[in-house]
Structure 1
């Protein structure tokens, strides 16, 4: 496994990057063909694209997989465990991608794509890459055992992202509808959830999921690191 796992990481990174580029291309195509000023405003469309938790998580996963794969190739003649910074990067990327897969399949799978994605892009970003990152947690060789407190590091980005999303939303005109607000996901939109109490309930539920998944990722890393 030590000999071929770097190539699994690198191949998954290429697939993830291709899906991100494909989805960005679709978003830009929609903007360029839009007949409204707000729908064709490219800076907003691009900023919105990189405001999706799914996209940011996949970008981080691609970076982590490339770095992790190249590190394994460079050090393939040794049996040393991955450095702590790489283990932390992989743990965070794995946590976000596993949560992305869970949230998508529980809350978002039946939402129409409406031209913002296609089937293979959607499944790659929400199912395939999350499964790869889960497999990386369970099977990738030379994992390092992180301290239990490392799971708190994984919580920082989702908190910042949620605050950014809720603050930014009311300063943006939705490219698709022209509404004077834009939320990346329906469960974050207070206009659809009966107010902010409904949104907060979803955020708390997802926060619990993130903490639980981060704890699981760190626990598995500690068990596998200890077994080495």
Structure 2
């Protein structure tokens, strides 16, 4: 199935479609959040900066870019079924990990939290359920996976750790535009005022470990499937044989 041109064509078309769907969901939510900020007289620049400080938003945007790139590249190269180049394959493994983490964390820790008035339900579901689910399916079913080194699993943790450091340094410097509190944390489990720094530290360790573990799983699946996915010869080479 992986080597079928029909399957590869359909899956890459799905990648492009899902990328568009995710970007539409992000754009619609940004527009809704901005409109609410204007209507309530909040600082729009802060609201926009906060919007792009959510790991969910960063994961969705980056994954949409990567899968769209893969899909467009496939069609631009004449629908040739060939192993993804190393940099693109690594980026795909990373964003797949981040999106799976996004889906798991949201549905386990944040699903019961009431949504803000400006939150669009359909957009929220795309970013937290359907987008992550597609990236999981891409790991399991996507064509032309490359066998990546195990070290890539640990490299996958670099961006989330950098995001956590950025969040914890920035949060005390931002006035919450909704409540007026002298701090703003994108997620309750990172807010030390709710459970203390010990609770925050535990969540950080658990999430970091989960990211590395999931990245190992993503890479393990890619390695197992990649063994059975040699590079297809170019059309001219195929004819010469």
Give yes or no for TM over 0.5.
Answer: yes
Work out the CA distance in 2 between the residues paired with 1:211 and 1:227: 25
CA contact (8 A) 1:3 1:76 kept: no
CA contact (8 A) 1:144 1:225 kept: yes
Residue 216 of structure 1 is matched in structure 2 by 217
Q: 1:33 Cα deviation (Å)? A: 1.0
TM-score by length of 2: 0.90
List 4+ stretches of structure 1 deviating above 6 A. none
Work out the CA distance in 1 between the residues paired with 2:66 and 2:215: 16
CA offset digits 1:168-192 (Å, max 9, x no partner): 0000000110000000000100111
Structure 1 segment 49-198 matched on structure 2, within 5 A = 49-193=51-195, 195-198=196-199
TM-score by length of 1: 0.95
Residue 34 of structure 1 is matched in structure 2 by 40
CA contact (8 A) 2:9 2:79 kept: no
CA contact (8 A) 1:10 1:65 kept: yes
Partner of 1:113: helix, strand, or coil?
Answer: coil
Count residues in correspondence: 223
Are residues 1:19 and 2:25 paired? yes
CA contact (8 A) 1:2 1:76 kept: no
Larger Cα-atom Rg: 2
Work out the CA distance in 1 between the residues paired with 2:171 and 2:82: 46
More deviation, 114-123/207-216: 114-123
Unaligned runs of 5+ in 2: 1-6, 230-241
Unaligned runs of 5+ in 1: none
